[in-house]
Chain A
């Protein structure tokens, strides 16, 4: 039996204030895969995520997430780790409240003891139990990223979306992050979506790659999608320039 796609899109385009943000994105991917969305800055990667999350409606085309309109999705099915942590720095919040909000989808007024255990379990997946009880504002960039990951991990998602998760990861280690994500996919059979501009990461960690620069350049397995020709079309330079860990588009 053919697996139903977790995400299916037909020629979705997005225009905002008369500017084209995304053009004809065609995507079909089942659960239990690791998809990297790759493209230079301003390629529309984050906007595509917002469409998948149902926060932005495409101007044309059709998209189905788990067989439904994005707006009709149940929030617990999709975990999301935003790139920019845009929360209000004046809001008094502790890590356990933020992590639990990933499950309750509300800000918790008080936390029951079994909920405390769930939060601790989510943190322990990231070897970060020591972050429990800390004020969100005291955290470093890397610690904050781990708390947001724990927030996504607190429930078994069908789709887990991470927007540039390696940004700000310092003490944690990037390779650990991809190992954790890979483990997560194996245990939950979720579709893990990684937004990145790092070609090496996309090439080595994903099962599928979507290469975009406003338009869809290519979609498929990493080796074919990230061919020299395709990369040149997306980034305007060849992959060799990308070696040595130096990111041209940081």
Chain B
């Protein structure tokens, strides 16, 4: 494994996998617990709008994609809180809107739009130093926001009870949507728009099956997220496979093994 790291792009890829594997799987617990997996998918697709706009304007996509993702995420949260609509309805509307904008922007671009496929399927080779700084900054943000774990978890357990204990659940929801939007952008280059949603769901879902408390679910999810990302990256290098897809397949294998083991245990 050590010799792989002689290549700077692989070293960057490994750091990226460690960071996004840990961060995404931490948030994955809240996504699974609050049944928000469609939100991950919706936010990932809405990134296409930002990517296409950046390609059209020929600027670095990170900022524009972040803006798009955060805007769509907060718009979904606002619509859910201020109308009679369910969250899945508002996700459906806003993600289609952002994707449609993406398609229009792509059509406006006269040059080759091959870069867009990087964002559709992900490419570990495209990870640059700026992406790592972004990931590091986001990691720091989530560490600073760690006290929110107790509030998000409480509202996830029982919203009314949390509210009776003076937790401002609406404001906390916006905060969760905001960090999720940034997490989606963070994972975009490695996983790609299409596979990203699974990356935000599988670690939490796997951990849920083997946890009796939310604390242990969070810790196990992070371990699963990091191990599967690094393991997937290693396998993709050895067998010359696309890294994003390999990571998701490793996660899926972990999920299936846990699900079957738990089923067998219960029937014994």
- Do A and B pair up? The answer is yes
Distance from B164 Cβ to chain A, minimum over Cβ atoms (Å): 5
Task: Say what secondary structure dominates the interface of chain A.
Answer: loop
Q: Does B217 contact A (CB under 8 A)?
A: yes
B213 touches A92 (CB 8 A): yes
| Stretch from A2-10, A60-68, A81-89, A206-214 at the B interface | A81-89
B151 touches A106 (CB 8 A): yes
CA distance A55 to B169 in the complex (A): 12
Supposing A94-B212, A97-B213, A135-B212 touch, asked if A107 and B160 sit within 8 A by C-beta, the answer is no
Q: Does B157 contact A (CB under 8 A)?
A: yes
In the complex, what residues of B have CB within 8 A of residue A110's CB?
215
Q: Does A80 contact B (CB under 8 A)?
A: yes
B166 touches which one: A75, A98, A101, A107 (CB < 8 A)?
A75
Number of A-B pairs, beta carbon distance below 8 Å? 74
A55 touches B154 (CB 8 A): no
A88 touches B167 (CB 8 A): no
B208 touches A101 (CB 8 A): no
* Chain B positions 165-194 with a Cβ under 8 Å from a chain A Cβ: 165-167
Q: Count chain A residues whose beta carbon lies closer than 8 angstroms to a beta carbon of B.
A: 27
A93 touches which one: B149, B164, B165, B213 (CB < 8 A)?
B213
Q: Does B156 contact A (CB under 8 A)?
A: yes
In the complex, what residues of B have CB within 8 A of residue A92's CB?
208, 211-214, 216-217
Q: Does A109 contact B (CB under 8 A)?
A: yes
A109 touches B33 (CB 8 A): no
Distance from A136 Cβ to chain B, minimum over Cβ atoms (Å): 9
Q: Does A249 contact B (CB under 8 A)?
A: no
Show the binding face of B for A, using Cβ within 8 Å: 33, 149-151, 153-154, 156-161, 163-167, 208, 211-217
The 9 closest A-B pairs by CB, nearest first: A106-B150, A107-B153, A87-B158, A107-B154, A105-B165, A75-B165, A91-B157, A107-B150, A75-B166
15 A-B pairs with CB atoms under 8 Å apart are A53-B164, A54-B164, A86-B160, A87-B158, A88-B156, A88-B158, A90-B208, A92-B208, A92-B211, A92-B212, A92-B214, A94-B212, A98-B157, A101-B154, A107-B150
